[in-house]
Amino acid sequence: MDKKLLLKKKFRPGEWFAERMVSLTAYISLTFIALIFIFVFREAVPLFKDRSHEVAAFKAAPLEEMETYGSEMVEGDAGVLENPSTEDKHALHVSKASDLLAKDWQPISDQPKYGLWPLFAGSFKVTLIAILLAAPIAILAALYTHTFAPKWCKELMKPTIEILSGFPSVVIGFFALTVLATAIQSLFGFEYRLNAFVGGVAMSLAVIPIIFTISEDALTAVPKSLSEASLALGAKKWETSLFVILPAAIPGVFAAVLLGFGRAFGETMIVLMATGNAALMSFDFSEPVRTLSATIGAEMAEVVFGDFHYNVLFAIGILLFIISFSLNLFAEFFVRQKLMKKFRGN
């Protein structure tokens, strides 16, 4: 028989179909991400539109008196406060894209202020606290489970910490709001019950499992020969783990911390509930903060569609997307691939 005929692949329709389906689903999810990005971007672009003519048109056409119904049923309006200004100053204000560089966030105002700096400061403050607390705990825990823990303990520890990552963030937020905030205030005597520190501590609960899991994977990926060589040379177990295994796994651990940073930066519910949401421009971690993500979470539902404020919220969404996307990209490509090669020499 001809050898060529034997080697020729037989066309199997079922297999072909299954293959196509799998690749199709992969492409669909890619398309979804692209579409989300396009949608968010499209809603943010009118930020750069010149709005002065809208305001001029609004000024030119004063509205008639409001029609009422059933007002004869209302008995007296004594004591009801008078609105001091009948004109809508908010609508007469022309907002520009450069407003985003201001130092105040007061979108509902006669002179709306859309400065993003206090929100940036807030996001960074909370994220920094969360990472400073979570990273050492998670990395040391990963080191312990990898090298020291007996097998049964390892098998208990890993799933338990991973369950933490499945915890709904609203539950963590509620816990922080009701229990943690009071405990921290009585412990440290902070003036504000809800502040950046409470948010950071609560956030670290959400970040620990991410850093732990990825660091543990990185430690496991270190070749056995390294630790065996170290032990054979007479190094103790703790010396081996701290000075041989951990340094070899550093790129992976660093990537874990970066991914944790990305998660913390975008997390909404915890900070919305636990940080007090005051857009303050300060670096004092005992003061309340308002983060970028919490601002979207709190304000999106009520904003007038197509308004400048609406566009600004979408622009914040793009910023968050870009930040977490570049962090993930950096963690994946640079740290994991390049550094790993450099350290391992293969």
Partner 1 sequence: MNKILKKVISVLAASSLFAAPMQAAITVKGSDTMVIMAQRWAELYMSENTSAKIQVTGGGSGTGISALINGTTDICNASRPIKPTEREKLKERYGTLGVEIKVARDGLAVYVHESSPIQELTLAQIKDIYTGKISNWKQVGGPDEKIIVYGRENNSGTYVYFKDFVLKGEDYMAGMLSMPGTAAVVNAVSKDAKAIGYGGAAYAKGIRLIKVKKDEKSQGYEPTAENVKAGKYPITRFLYLYVKNRPTGELKQFIDWILSDKGQSIVTKVGYFPIR
CA dihedral 135, 319, 272, 197 (to 10 degrees): 40
Contact 94, 51 (CB under 8 A): yes
Name which of 223 and 306 has its Cβ closer to partner 1.
306
Rounded Cα gap, residues 149 and 161, in angstroms:
14
Least Å distance, CB 168 to partner 1, is 17
User: Which pair of tokens denotes residue 232?
Assistant: 């054979």
Q: How many CB atoms lie within 10 A of CB 218?
A: 25
Least Å distance, CB 278 to partner 1, is 5
What type of residue sits at position 276? G
* Alpha-carbon torsion (18, 20, 22, 24), positive or negative: negative
Least Å distance, CB 41 to partner 1, is 22
Name which of 107 and 209 has its Cβ closer to partner 1.
107
Q: Say which residue the tokens 């910023």 belong to.
A: 319
User: Which pair of tokens denotes residue 62?
Assistant: 């004063």
Contact 204, 216 (CB under 8 A): no
Least Å distance, CB 105 to partner 1, is 8
Least Å distance, CB 47 to partner 1, is 18
Least Å distance, CB 321 to partner 1, is 22
What type of residue sits at position 236? K
Name which of 199 and 252 has its Cβ closer to partner 1.
199
3-state DSSP of 197-243 = HHHHHHHHHHHHHHHHHHHHHHHHCCCHHHHHHHHHCCCCHHHHHHH
Name which of 68 and 346 has its Cβ closer to partner 1.
68
Report the greatest alpha carbon distance in the chain: 106
Name which of 231 and 298 has its Cβ closer to partner 1.
298
Name which of 133 and 177 has its Cβ closer to partner 1.
177
3-state DSSP of 89-100 = HHHHCCCCHHHH
Least Å distance, CB 272 to partner 1, is 7
Give residues in contact with partner 1 (CB under 8 A): 58, 61, 63-64, 66-71, 73-85, 87-91, 104-111, 118, 177-178, 181-182, 191-194, 272-273, 276-281, 287-288, 290, 298-299, 301-305
Name which of 57 and 232 has its Cβ closer to partner 1.
57
